[in-house]
Amino acid sequence: MTVRLLTNIGRLWTGNEVLSNAAILVHNDRIAWVGRAPDLPQTVPGVVDDIVDVDHVENLGGALVTPGLIDAHTHPVYAGNRYAELAIRTGGSTSASITAAGGGVGSTVTVTRGTDPWTLCNGVRERLRDWLLSGTTTVEAKTGYHLTRDGELADVRLLRELEKEPMMPRVHVTFLAAHVVPPEYFGRQREYVEAVGSWCADAAAAGADSVDVYCDEGHFTTEESRWVLASGRNVGLLPRIHAGQYSRRGAVQLAAELGCASADGLHHMSDEDIAIMSRYGVPAVVCPATALQRGHLPPVRQMIKHGVQIALGSDHNPGYCGITSMALVIAMAVSAFGMSVNDALRAATLGGATVLGAPDRGVLAPGRLADIVQWDADHEGAFAWSFGLQPRRVWRGGVPVQ
């Protein structure tokens, strides 16, 4: 299959404009042309092998088509669950008391380390498949639940290999060995920080795209975070940072200083932080599900007002959130953050492409990847209504996902 034509599209949300009675011409894995169906070019780059009459086939009377969604913040490489911990947290227990009792990230590290690679791989594969089937064609995926050199590097390679399999989304791999200090380094935090910095070159060689650090109370200081992020940046990894999840510890200022690809979380923000992000062009990744669970909402509308680029993430992880539907994340962003549907949808497409350094996706335009979703709706406003809008069809690189 070299050329595919999607035509009779009732409503096409390209990321740049909205078109009625539209068509998309796909050549190999890229978009060759997009526009109104009556304006289709007389010649195409080859023989059209497949014509998909979107409205006729699905009988929607005006189907909505958008770029594939992008989840800009996830933690999918883990084993086990923390349901019991979630139950007691909703009953009033604090994160500090849960961690002191043996819960928190450390409990997932223990279970993940004790899980055989085959079982771990199958769990990650199922999660990634769920993302793709729900209309998310690119997923940023962090390591961070082995916290040993060999375990973290194995997780990077696992994500890279899974991306090659059928029915998998595109994966942007982030090296997050600086998640928490593992138990064997108790009392030797600086030594662990130096070790993580020394692992960054190996992580890049194994296929990581970014390096991340959890700069917050109970995790790593700004100085420790600077060491890890600079080490990663020096070997070609994009630096990104968990900032302001629990408190303000100078993480936003550090993100500006190092030119981080994103500052993520941002539940505790000041006007000064917003001004810094705007001035230095630091994009924000916000995760409505986690923000709601923690009871602190980032000031998204104020960030938008000041020109801060916004991307959305599910923050899928075993301790707080099991969401793999970015359509649901869009609805939550509209409700919790007061974003418009257009702003939220743009944050889940073009915004995600921006923070991941992936200019080949996020909009439907010539030369971009043909990652396309047809939704069970006739207007993008349905994202705010359905709380988990379902796709009718997904194309990854022009190939239909079965």
Angle between helices 251-258 and 222-234 (to 10 degrees): 20
Above 60 in pLDDT, residue 80?
A: yes
Where residue 161 falls among pLDDT bands split at 50, 70, 90? very high
For the record, the structure tokens of 33 come out as: 């042309």
* Total-model pTM: 0.95
Joined together, the tokens standing for residue 221 give 């200081």
Domain residue spans of the chain:
3-67+363-400, 69-355
Distance separating alpha carbons of residues 245 and 298, to the nearest angstrom:
10
Domain 69-355, architecture per CATH? Alpha-Beta Barrel (3.20)
Rounded mean pLDDT, 227-253: 90
Note the pLDDT tens digit of each residue in 126-137.
999 999 999 999
Question: What torsion, rounded to 10 degrees, do the Cα atoms 122, 123, 128, 132 define?
Answer: 80
* pLDDT value, residue 48: 67
Q: Taking the CA atoms of 352, 386, 397 and 141 in sequence, report the sign of the dihedral they define.
A: positive
DSSP state of 92: T
Cβ(180)–Cβ(147) below 8 Å: yes
* Beta bridge mates, 22: 9, 36
Q: What pLDDT score was predicted for residue 157?
A: 98
Q: For residue 399, what are its two tokens?
A: 């190939």
Decide if domain 3-67+363-400 falls under CATH 2.30.40.10: yes
Q: How confident is the model at residue 59 (pLDDT cuts 50, 70, 90)?
A: very low
Estimate to the nearest angstrom the gap between the alpha carbon of 228 and the chain centroid.
21
- Of the ranges 43-47, 191-195, 267-271, which is most confident? 191-195
Asked if the model's pLDDT at residue 93 lies above 60, the reply is: yes
